[in-house]
Amino acid sequence: MRNLKVTAAYRGTKYHGFQIQNNALTVQEVLEKCVSKVLNEPVTICGCSRTDTGVHANMYVFNVKTTSNIRCLGFVRGVNGLLPDDISILACEDAPEDFHARYSCVGKEYIYKLHCSESKDPFSTDLRLHYRRKFNTDLARQAAKYFIGTHDFASFCADCTNVKSTIRTIFTFKIENSGDSVNVLVKGDGFLYNMIRIIVGTLLDINEGKLSPDDIPEILSARDRLRAGRTAMAHGLYLNRVFYSKEEMLGEASSPYNDKYTGGVGNA
């Protein structure tokens, strides 16, 4: 029995998240149908994350057990030949038998994209949040520094009932802007349900003067979802990278953003 580690990317606009549902089309459903055809056997794939409806992935990892002796290159070509244009297989490799895309993961990186202008961008309507105000990156960076490190993020979780702990570590928090485009990049050892979207929503509330950057420590200590800001829309969110070794996750020694947690607040 082989265990294939597969890297994919997808545009989540048409899908109700990754995980299979009985009454809606999901990325997992589409992938399993195509992978099963190529491997010539029914399979269940194990994904690295449950992404919400409309959320995208620049890098998504899943593993699949198979008795097929297909070459990895043949797998990539075969599955891509069956997939719709909004899902793509990027790579495939043989993995150890105990590798699991979700449970072997040691960290993830998400990116949230905004288009900050009174005028909408017709080329990114489902790929960036259209925010009709100027975004004060300096103010947002003042808030971002408070998230770096190990904290209880219960205030930034939409539903904490199914998790053993709400403590997470954020290694990197960058805010980059170019023209009307703003990207919020966050890397950590794990994320709670809607955590990134609530963090971004809180930054938007800070941008509008509803909250202050210096309110973040108090919001964190409150462990109360009602104390944090809004939940930003799903279509601006991307799973950007998935890490399976701490060396890979923390090995950015040359990064200009490095500080205590080999992360920091970006100045780009």
Q: How far apart are CA 207 and CA 36, in angstroms?
A: 48
Please name the amino acid found at residue 19.
Q
Q: Residue 174's beta-bridge partner residues?
A: 185
Q: How far apart are CA 177 and CA 162, in angstroms?
A: 35
Both tokens assigned to 244: 């399976």
Burial of residue 79 (number of CB atoms within 10 Å: 0-12, 13-18, 19+): buried
Instruction: Name residues whose C-beta falls within 8 Å of residue 97's C-beta, 6 or more positions apart in sequence.
Output: 1, 3
Instruction: Name residues whose C-beta falls within 8 Å of residue 76's C-beta, 6 or more positions apart in sequence.
Output: 89, 90, 91, 92
Do residues 253 and 262 lie in contact, with contact meaning Cβ atoms separated by under 8 Å?
yes
Cα distances from 260 to residues 89, 148, 171, in angstroms, run 36, 9, 8
Nearest to 187 by CA among 135, 125, 122, 258: 258
Residues known to be catalytic = 52
Place of tokens 């408070």: 146
Q: How far apart are CA 121 and CA 115, in angstroms?
A: 7
